Structure 1
């Protein structure tokens, strides 16, 4: 590690080879030396999936030190202004071009597309400062040239809007849009605001607006991403399987060239990549290039695959402790550690292990992709998904997508004249479009709502939260309210009264239900814990809460009455399987009722797959079973030979 740190501080161009690194060890090594490192650091992996897993590891280990992901793929053919590839690349170019240094992870294929020169981006970046004299007409014309789309309201990067003396701009490289207020041709104030609520966040003295990287003036200055980084700051190149990178780049460039709709468009070739990378400090692991200046040999081995064999894991842990190793389990959920402790308590009764798990296995609240053991410094890193045999899903959050939650603005854009809407104070009316009106000497956009007798109500964009799309019975035409009348107020009061009566009836119903005796199921068994731990996906926060609530209901002495709601694919069936197995563990039989013949069969297969290896017998009844099969199933049910 010291030798690697010295090599990074050295100004000499060299190629350092890191040997015998397994699992997530390269990310740990990089995180250790990057804590105080300056300049740009580019990590190049073999594939997009490898790159995102490495990005997740590095981001988790370097908490507080921003790590960027440079996406692979061509964004040119997408007409979506919220294209994540375009936005991701623009964000990285802006951060790396600042000269302050950046840590970037990417796949080799992402290097094939050329990027605008740093100077060209700087020259095309719009800067606004309070007190500046600028013509709004000139700015609007320039934004159109820079591929910004004019809209009524901005809620996505690459958009701008004008309302009187207010100019809203959502830059291609900023998390939130800017609101610039003009007084004539003078910039009076600048602030960021939330695209969802339209409320201000912070006041700024100046801002920079980055254009689309595909405007013609920028594309004429195209250069490789490596050259772009080198022009901004000293750049260190970290490459996995450096011997394979030139071939991967050549193959991807040939594919892009063949698919390109622009004749003569250039892409990075393998020779240029080798020439430009040879001028940088390189750190390589995996398959090294032909020439390496210095080799640093580590001594790591990958984490074993335990396949939910907890006895095997505890045996290895026991041996590891005897050999003087420190053991860590990396997990982003404490629940998995608790499950492991519960399973260990059960296994310990049947084994000769004399250590305490809390002391032998130290939990770290971070997620890494793959475990490993370092034999030199005697450290073992385990992952919860490696022990429990779960699928480890990578996470690539696109912060720009949060603007898609801007339901008020998006629904407004989707509304058509004649659609029914409801105003919280004035009742049901018909949407009559948008209109520019003068408010306090400034022209701004307002929503028009038509009421009974053609009365008109104008709603400012700042009051959109008081309006919603009308929802009622399908094909039912609602009655329009009259502005100024008491009808809407009276209806709201009546509705409140009816809701109070309904609530009173429900309270009485639940009180009677609460008084009924029920069966109190036992606390979770070892097998229940093992079943839940073996779920191949990470539980969502909602699944964790729903599972806990269901089990709490089951363990109470009153009948359970609970509805689990969720979209398709959000894990409702998994909660049902856990509840069913908990009942079976207490010698109860479980009936699962499905609405269709096919769904009954699908649930049979799902339950059978999840409960494979557990002492639980499952069968199914539907109209495709023969009379003799149905008779046999009913007989087994009566004899308690079928559990679910």
Structure 2
């Protein structure tokens, strides 16, 4: 019996599939493949990924559809070839932060798209809502990433200062992504995009050992030659001073007294660099609203030669419009209730940009 891998290879060699793959790999083109039964989408996308030299981005209508598509594609290509780029459960203007898993998966997808050593096939699966949430620019991601290498000369103090400035938080023991801990000549870090934390052992100002460890037992078990330490969050937390200035400039005269107290309390926590539920609500202030930086999506990270595959484009556009309508209705309601300043910047993108 043929394996799914063998069947994928056969599908990839079909003349029609070859023509579609060649068209996608050539000059920018807009193709419509129809009719295409739902059951045929996963094997076709897997076959296109096999023929592509660059990653593919596959957009679905919602999170459930993205999860199903990712699971189906892993059956055809294997677990390492498919990543999920999820959306937060929160709606725009809600005081709710994304969970660690959502942050980790989104950052992992961005890092893989920006890795020049990444080999195909690779498919990033995302619900349309995930594209409506701004993310780091490629320049911000690169500027907030550091590669550690075995034998590298590096000051512990300099490393810790850099990571704390980027938003990593100190903890007695590293148990969650975005945390770091120092014990003598050992620095533990959990890069948010990584599945497991990293233990960096110093000999003076030189990296003597790099090992992955189990956060439950705190025992190291895997030596590595180098490791990439990316940012702890999609919010550019290192822009905190600018964010505080922008927040302070907002006219709060229309807020209820209780809402003003909540705003002031959150501002104090942001000033101290604390992590708290609802911190993502203030994400727009960490970006320069005078240019298009805040409009960066995962599309800015898709390398040249990649294809963006839309599952039922008209339905995606309709659903994106519904999300925008619900968000605008919520904004107007909160302003009327005295819970949101009228000039609060829009925290999401629309289908048009």
Q: Same fold (TM over 0.5)?
A: yes
Asked if 2 retains the 8 angstrom alpha-carbon contact of 1:160 and 1:168, the reply is yes
Query: Which 10-residue stretch deviates more, 93-102 or 170-179?
Result: 93-102
- The superposition leaves residues 497-556 of structure 1 with CA deviations (integer Å, 9 ceiling, x where unpaired) of xxxxxxxxxxxxxxxxxxxxxxxxxxxxxxxxxxxxxxxxxxxxxxxxxxxxxxxxxxxx
* Residue equivalent to 2:165: 145
Instruction: Confirm or deny: 8 A CA contact 1:114 1:224 kept in the other structure.
Output: yes
SS in structure 1 at match of 2:78: coil
The answer for the alignment partner of 2:310 in structure 1 is 239
- 3-state secondary structure, aligned to 1:252: helix
Aligned position for 2:102: 85
Counterpart residue number, 2:30: 15
Note the 1:556-571 alignment, pairs <5 A: none
Residue 69 of structure 2 is matched in structure 1 by: 54
Residues 1:168 and 2:168 aligned together: no
Give the equivalent residue in structure 2 for 1:185.
Answer: 205
Displacement of 1:168 in angstroms is: 0.4
Query: How many aligned positions are there?
Result: 270
The structure-2 alpha-carbon separation of the partners of 1:77 and 1:67, relative to structure 1 and needing over 3 Å to count, comes to: farther
Alpha-carbon deviation of 1:88?
A: 1.4
Q: Which residue of 2 aligns with 1:42?
A: 57
Structure with greater proportional strand content: 1
Partner of 1:264: 345
Aligned equivalents of 1:130 and 1:30: distance in 2?
39
8 Å contact kept, 2:58–2:308? yes
- Measured in 2, the distance between the counterparts of 1:256 and 1:210 equals 31
Q: 1:24 is matched with which residue?
A: 39
Shift of 1:3: 2.3
Contact kept, 8 Å, 2:135 with 2:298, in 1: the verdict is no
Q: How far, CA to CA, are the matches of 1:64 and 1:114 in structure 2?
A: 27
SS at match of 1:271: coil
User: What CA distance in whole angstroms lies between the structure 2 residues aligned with 1:18 and 1:195?
Assistant: 46
Runs of 5+ consecutive residues of structure 2 not aligned to the other structure: 1-13, 240-285, 288-292, 335-339
Is this contact kept in 1: 2:132–2:351, CA < 8 A?
Answer: no
Residues 116, 223 of structure 1: 8 Å contact kept? no
Partner of 1:538: none
SS in 1 for 2:294: coil
Distance 1:88 1:138, change over 3 A: same
Local SS of the residue matching 2:67? helix
CA-CA distance at 1:203 after TM superposition: 1.9
Q: Please, which runs of 5 or more residues in structure 1 have no aligned partner?
A: 273-644
Match of 2:245 in 1: none
Asked if 2 retains the 8 angstrom alpha-carbon contact of 1:40 and 1:233, the reply is no
- Kept in 1: contact 2:49–2:55 (CA 8 A): no
TM-score under structure 2 length normalisation? 0.69
Q: Check the 8 A contact 1:149/1:158 in 2, yes or no.
A: yes
Structure with higher Rg: it is 1
- Would the alpha carbon gap of residues 139 and 77 (structure 1) be closer, same or farther in structure 2, given more than 3 Å must change? farther
User: 2:224 aligned with 1:209, yes or no?
Assistant: no
Is 1:229 the counterpart of 2:250? The answer is no
Aligned-residue Cα RMSD (Å) equals 2.6
2: CA distance, partners of 1:143 / 1:166: 15
Cα deviation code 1:390-434 (max 9, x no counterpart):
xxxxxxxxxxxxxxxxxxxxxxxxxxxxxxxxxxxxxxxxxxxxx
Rate the CA distance shift 1:234–1:256 in 2: closer, same or farther, 3 A: farther
Query: Residue in 1 aligned with 2:277?
Result: none
Q: 2:97 and 2:102 mapped to 1: Cα distance?
A: 12
Change (3 A) 1:254 1:124: farther
- 1:2 is the counterpart of 2:27: no
Alignment match, 1:396: none
- Distance in structure 2 (CA, Å) of the matches to 1:256 and 1:188: 51
Checking the alignment, whether the CA contact within 8 Å between 1:28 and 1:61 is kept in structure 2 is yes
1:178 Cα shift? 0.8
CA drift of 1:31 comes to 1.8
Q: Secondary structure at the match of 1:104?
A: strand
Write out per-residue CA displacement over residues 287-317 of structure 1, whole angstroms, 9 at most, x where no aligned residue.
xxxxxxxxxxxxxxxxxxxxxxxxxxxxxxx
What are the Cα deviations for residues 447-476 of structure 1, in whole angstroms up to 9, with x where unaligned? xxxxxxxxxxxxxxxxxxxxxxxxxxxxxx
**Contact 2:165–2:238 (CA<8 Å) still a contact in 1?**
no
- Structure 1's consecutive aligned runs of 4 or more residues displaced over 6 angstroms after TM superposition are none
Change beyond 3 A, Cα 1:58–1:34:
same
How much has 1:79 moved relative to structure 2?
6.0
Q: Deviations over 1:185-213 (max 9, x none)?
A: 22222111122222222222221111122
Counting only pairs closer than 5 Å after superposition, residues 186-335 of structure 1 correspond to structure 2 as: 186-211=206-231, 212-217=233-238, 219-220=286-287, 221-230=293-302, 232-256=303-327, 258=330, 263-272=344-353
Comparing 147-156 and 160-169, the one that deviates more: 147-156
2:82 aligned with 1:67, yes or no? yes
Report if the CA contact (8 A) 2:167-2:237 is conserved. no
Q: Tell me the equivalent position of 2:263.
A: none
Q: After superposition, where does 1:398-477 map in structure 2 within 5 Å? A: none
Q: Are residues 1:95 and 2:166 paired?
A: no
TM-score in terms of structure 1 length: 0.39
Provide Cα deviations, 1:119-168, integer angstroms capped at 9, x if missing partner. Answer: 21111102222233322222222222222221121121111111111000
